[in-house]
Amino acid sequence: MGQLFSDTSKNEDCGDLESSFTAYFKINTESKIIPQETIDSIELHLTKGNIQEANSVIRDALKNIDNVPITIAVTGESGAGKSSFINALRGVEPEEEGAAEVGVVATTMRRTPYKHPKIQTLTLWDLPGIETVNFLPKDYLEKVNFQEYDFFIIVSATRFTKLELDLAKAIRFMKKNYYFVRTKVDLDLDNEKKCNSHTFDREKTLQQIRSMCVNTFSQNNMDAPQIFLISNSNLSDYDFPVLMDTLVKDLPAQKRHNFMLSLANITEPAIDRKHKSLQQAIWLEACKDALLATVPVVGILRDDVEKLKEKLNHYRVLFGVDDASLEVMAKDSQVPVEQLKKMIKSPYLLETEGKTTLGEKLLKYLERFSSATGGPLATGLYFRKTFYLQFLFLDTVTEDAKVLLRQI
């Protein structure tokens, strides 16, 4: 099954892997899922031929990525759409089991945690509304355990109030990031269109909403931050994709991976972002495996196939092209689920088509893979076939997600 390298070939292969590793992470700058200091440490060990040390750093980095918690606080005044925003981030319908309670009255009287249904390390906290006569930002933040959160999202459905601005000042003073989100802009546009049907200008109305928010800051002697105009019911419209891009860039590298995987498939760039993140995870696993001197095997063993099935199903769930997601999609779009299944390829990857075996599918993919990626991804000849199959699965699932997004 495996074979240890000789000392000479070990150093040669370690050098090849080091140059391949370095080249790969040079082309993944903004979306790195491990910190630069970790990358530098791995490269240093590889340069010196310290295989076990490099393997240990990669193993710890992967473990950290899988286990590091991401904790987001959502606050603002009651009725602003905090709970709806949390449901949207989690990809959960308001009436689904486990959804954040949505209502026209104050439904959140204490801070309430909501786990992401697919990414268990991601928790969104619905904080109590801040509209109270005796509101003191510092006391409020201490009461809701401000130190636990990676950042705060302050949600408003109108102009931002002095209470919300005072809260932002306190958050900044305590060295945490915050983001201002203006919700329900779709309702504002609808109302404006009804009232002024002949003169309605969508972009002009959006600019007026944004200006109204910005003016609140200047009136309170504050520099206006970036304000994200969103609709909780139409995530692909307005600034929601921009908000997600901003959060990804601001998060520490080791927290980006699971946060990116949690994002809904609302745009093709969002799908591509997931693909790049998972590709890095596969690459790191493959490097770790290569450092243990596992050489390619002639065939694909039964145990490999079972593990590959698990990986394929995992990718399908993350990209929303699994059977359960297809059922929901079919119901929402009023399209027969069989019609959706005919559009995609990933459910059938492990099936044989005529005389095409899994190994033959792999060879066809490798030809495309090598010509498309050229350098760093094509040089890892010591990677087991199962890792190349994971790349095949990931590419196929990614394309399936895009096909369904275009259709639906």
Closest CA to 71 of 142, 145, 180, 171: 145
Residues 306, 381 share a domain: yes
The CATH number that applies at residue 206 is: 3.40.50.300
Closest CA to 302 of 341, 263, 352, 358: 358
Query: pLDDT for 278-299, tens place per residue?
Result: 988 988 888 887 776 544 444 5
Query: pLDDT for 167-181, tens place per residue?
Result: 898 898 888 999 999
Instruction: Quote the number of domains for the chain.
Output: 2
Residues 284, 146 share a domain: no
Residue with tokens 């998972």: 278
Q: Per-residue pLDDT for 398 more than 80?
A: yes
Which domain-ending residue is among 209, 240, 259? 259
Residues 29, 96 share a domain: no
User: Is 345 part of any domain?
Assistant: yes
Residues 169, 32 share a domain: no
Which domain-ending residue is among 207, 235, 259? 259
Lowest mean pLDDT among 13-17, 76-80, 277-281: 13-17
User: Is 220 part of any domain?
Assistant: yes
Q: In this predicted structure, what is the pLDDT of residue 319?
A: 96
Residues 26, 122 share a domain: no
User: Is 340 part of any domain?
Assistant: yes
Cα torsion for 92, 94, 100, 106, to the nearest 10°?
160
Are 55 and 288 contacting, i.e. CB atoms less than 8 angstroms apart? yes
The CA distance from 225 to 197, in Å, is 32
Q: In this predicted structure, what is the pLDDT of residue 134?
A: 65
Residues 77, 50 share a domain: no
Q: In this predicted structure, what is the pLDDT of residue 378?
A: 45
Q: Per-residue pLDDT for 379 more than 50?
A: no
Cα atoms in the 13 Å half-sphere on the side-chain side of 46: 25
- Give the predicted TM-score (pTM) of the model: 0.83
Radius of gyration of the chain (CA): 24
* Residue-range definition of the domain harbouring residue 24: 7-66+267-407
Average pLDDT over residues 60-73: 93
User: Is 308 part of any domain?
Assistant: yes
Residues 255, 400 share a domain: no
Q: Per-residue pLDDT for 381 more than 90?
A: no
Residues 284, 254 share a domain: no
Average pLDDT over residues 55-68: 92
The CA distance from 363 to 359, in Å, is 6
Q: Which residues of 242-276 are buried (b: 16+ CB within 10 A; e: fewer)?
A: ebbbebbeebebbbbbbbbbbbbbbbeebbebbbb
User: Is 2 part of any domain?
Assistant: no
Residues 346, 374 share a domain: yes
Residues 239, 106 share a domain: yes
Residues 100, 212 share a domain: yes
Q: Per-residue pLDDT for 366 more than 70?
A: no
Residues 194, 304 share a domain: no
Which domain-ending residue is among 196, 224, 259? 259
